[in-house]
Amino acid sequence: MKTLIAHRGMSSLAPENTLSAFSLCKDHGVQWFECDVDILQDGTVIISHDDTLDRCTDKSGRLCDISSADLSSIDAGSWFSDDYIDERLPTIQQLIILANEKELNLNIEIKSCSASAKLSHLLIDNLISALKELNPERELIISSFNHLVLSEFKRKSPETKVACLFESHTLWDDWNSIIEWCQADYIHPEEKGLTRDMVQKFKASGIKVNVWTVNDLARANELFNWGVDGICTDIAHKFPSKYKAKQ
């Protein structure tokens, strides 16, 4: 089965990591989306790639310095297009409601909290609590570049499938030990520098492989021919229907 995952939602068509971007997945026949979770100072789990507001909102500052009361005054859409003025940063609860309603599957990346390990622990706990509202029919992968965080999440939620994220320059020979340590179900390697031999080694170990971030259709086709299970892309709307329908 080929899996097409919309990176931060349909991020070429709507502001990344917003409810609008995720909703567009359904409109384009894409069943999976990827998003990022971080935490505010009051423990609210928020959907955001960055740990600051600067790049994708009309405000500046750190997420860990604001609370849920501030969210209604933060515009997360006008930077992208006038069509998305007053788009808000979603909470994890809003995301889960949308995923349930639209019948979408989720790859949630846990961001590494730069503020403190204490906040990372709170992020894990509050994420697990929120995910209890996700319909059991929905498929879910939790991923992270921080393998300490991922291992702790898996320890607390052993029934949830998890994925170890790797950049090309961090994908050393001990990848299999890290996978085992985290009890991971997936490896999510970077597309850059990925070879057929590497994919074969991953598959031979019995683990599933989802590759990020693939924005070239020919490269995606090559990777699928090598046996990868899925790809994460910014241009999911450009893929032919055979990648969007269940195989």
- The C-alpha atoms of residue 53 and residue 154 are separated, in whole angstroms, by 29
Which of 7, 28, 188, 237 is catalytic? The answer is 7
Query: What element of type H or E holds 232?
Result: strand 230-233
Q: Are 195 and 166 in contact (CB under 8 A)?
A: no
Q: Count the alpha carbons within 13 Å of 180 in the hemisphere toward its beta carbon.
A: 5
Tokens representing 215 are 């924005």
- The C-alpha atoms of residue 141 and residue 81 are separated, in whole angstroms, by 30
* Closest-CA residue to 212 (of 109, 103, 77): 109
Q: Are 93 and 22 in contact (CB under 8 A)?
A: no
- The C-alpha atoms of residue 37 and residue 112 are separated, in whole angstroms, by 9
Q: Residue 62 pairs with which residues in a beta bridge?
A: 52
Whether 49 is catalytic? yes
Which of 28, 49, 147, 237 is catalytic? The answer is 49
Whether 7 is catalytic? yes
User: Which residue type does 145 have?
Assistant: F
**209 to each of 54, 57, 69, 166, 206, how far by Cα in Å?**
33, 33, 39, 11, 10
- The C-alpha atoms of residue 84 and residue 73 are separated, in whole angstroms, by 14
- The C-alpha atoms of residue 124 and residue 147 are separated, in whole angstroms, by 13
- State the catalytic residues: 7, 49
